[in-house]
Structure 1
Amino acid sequence: MYFEGLLIGLITFLIIGLFHPIVVKMEYYYGTKSWWIFLILGLITLGISVMIRSTLISAILGVFSFSSFWTIKEIFDQEKRVEKGWFPRNPKRTYPFDKKDNLK
């Protein structure tokens, strides 16, 4: 029996689960300006994944890479969730949507 597919599935599940709290914390402390970190991280792991011979490691790095790319979108979506009041605001930060409220 071959368990590589099962292992890739499990690690994919864990990577996605890991990125959710990272998105929340990064948006809370740094806002949307932290998106470039995930772009660089995604590009680096994508580059490494195409150079690795091992299918298992290459697949895991590919999943990590595209999860990093997806995180860019999620950070911007997280800011919208904060604006709606679904997640707590960082009281030490100013938000772009605060400026909209001041224009009224």
Structure 2
Amino acid sequence: MERVMRLADQRPVVIFSKSSCCMCHTIKTLFCDFGVNPAVHELDEDPKGKEMEKALLRLGCNPSVPAVFIGGELKGGANQIMTLHLNGSLIPLLKQVGALWV
């Protein structure tokens, strides 16, 4: 859990992902299309990935990926991020944490 939280605090947007997950790819693409440069941690490519995945599940991410942290705070998975985007609150949030300058 400590490692996940430490990584989540390192950048304005941090995404825990798996390289084979289509929803992870969609969420990463969404942020990149906005011009955000998220820190992406591919759990299936990290030696401590299983441990981090268990920590994400304990934090309430189910499924465990994608797990998106904005401003060091867990915002959720694909459904939660798309909801923020569709209700118009994702862009202002990204600006607030300094991930987006437009």
State the TM-score, normalizing by the size of structure 2: 0.28
| Larger Rg computed on CA atoms | 1
- Greater share of strand residues, 1 or 2? 2
- Greater share of helix residues, 1 or 2? 1
